[in-house]
Structure 1
Amino acid sequence: MTTAYLYVLHGRRGKIPESNLELLAGFIADEGQLGRIAFLEGDEQTLEDGIRDLQGRPGVDHLAIVPVLLYSATHIRWDIPERSAKVLDPSITVTVTEPLAGTAAVERYLERTLGAAVTAFPGRRVLLIAHGTPHFPEPFEELKELASRVGRTIGVEVVPTNHVGHPTIEETLADEHGPFIVERLFLTDGRLAAKMKARVQAIESGDVFLPTLEDDPVIINAIRERLAEAGV
Structure 2
Amino acid sequence: MRHSALGLLAATAALAIAASTAHAADLPSRYSPAPAYNALPIFTWTGFYAGLNAGYGWNVGDSRYYDPAFGTVRGSRGGGFVGGAQAGYNYQFGMFVAGVETDLQYAAVGNKGASYGTTYYDGDSDGFFGTIRARAGVAFDRALVYGTGGFAYGDIGGNRGYDPVLGHHTGDEVNWGWTLGGGVEYAITNNFTAKVEGLYVDLDTKDNYVLGGRVNVNRDAEFGVIRAGLNYKFN
Q: Same fold (TM over 0.5)?
A: no
Q: Which has the higher helix share?
A: 1
Q: Which has the higher strand share?
A: 2
Q: Which of the five TM-score ranges fits, normalised by the shorter chain? A: under 0.3
Higher-Rg member (1/2): 2
TM-score by length of 1: 0.24
TM-score by length of 2: 0.24
